[in-house]
Amino acid sequence: MIEMQVSDARDDRVTSYAYKASLIGSAHRFELTEAGLSWHVGGRSGLWRYDEISTIRLSFRPVSMQQHRFRADISHAEGGRIAILSTSWQTAALMAPQDSGFREFIVALHARMAKAGSRAELTAGLGAKTYAAVLAFLALLAVVMATLLIRALMTGEFAGVLFILGFAALFAWQVGGFVQRNQPRRYRFEQLPRSLLP
């Protein structure tokens, strides 16, 4: 859910975004004001000036209830981190996407930070160590699958061959996009990574 509010007294636009991280508790609310990023998460709240934001990490984080979910992790120079998700819990069985609202808010945040002369570190994807661990796991899994496939071919278990090929294709389709989108990299304020925005 996103709102665009325009003040009558001044030509200041306040961009707002909110989502529910769980069924229990209040929504996480964020606003981009002239003073900075205003946030309300649970019982905590704060206002971070745009030049006080030290890092932003954009990533693709699908979950079982929502395969098309994006995340922005924002850190303050003096400590503290907040997460903004592109989905919101609606019911026990429904997590609704908020693609356009999330995209608009993240793009506007970057624009305001650039205007404020921010020197924040802008990164995309997973951390380098986490990404390396994911690749190592996938390589190990590929070796195991290839071994099972060869064994099934040698013993003439063609039903097993079809099952392994089908499973491998489904797994590659599900995990391939995650690995490709979350490749660790840096980006600039004027060139946000399209693959990490809905």
Can you give the pLDDT at residue 174?
A: 76
d(CA 26, CA 182): 29
Number of H helices, E strands in the chain: 3, 12
Can you give the pLDDT at residue 18?
A: 93
Single pTM value for the model:
0.77
Rounded average pLDDT over 180-187: 92
Average pLDDT, the chain: 86
Q: For residue 108, which amino acid is it?
A: A
d(CA 96, CA 50): 29
Can you give the pLDDT at residue 65?
A: 62
The string of pLDDT tens digits covering residues 102-127 is: 999 999 999 999 999 999 999 999 88
Can you give the pLDDT at residue 171?
A: 80
Can you give the pLDDT at residue 93?
A: 63
Can you give the pLDDT at residue 2?
A: 42
d(CA 18, CA 44): 15
The CATH code of the domain at 2-125+182-196 is 2.30.29.30
Rounded average pLDDT over 17-21: 90
The string of pLDDT tens digits covering residues 66-79 is: 678 899 999 999 99
Rounded average pLDDT over 145-165: 87
| Token pair recorded at residue 57 | 């990490």
The string of pLDDT tens digits covering residues 87-99 is: 888 766 677 888 8
Domain boundaries, the chain: 2-125+182-196, 128-178
d(CA 117, CA 5): 24
pLDDT above 50: residue 5: no
Burial class of residue 34 (count of CB atoms within 10 Å of its CB; 0-12, 13-18, 19+): exposed
Can you give the pLDDT at residue 106?
A: 96
pLDDT above 80: residue 3: no
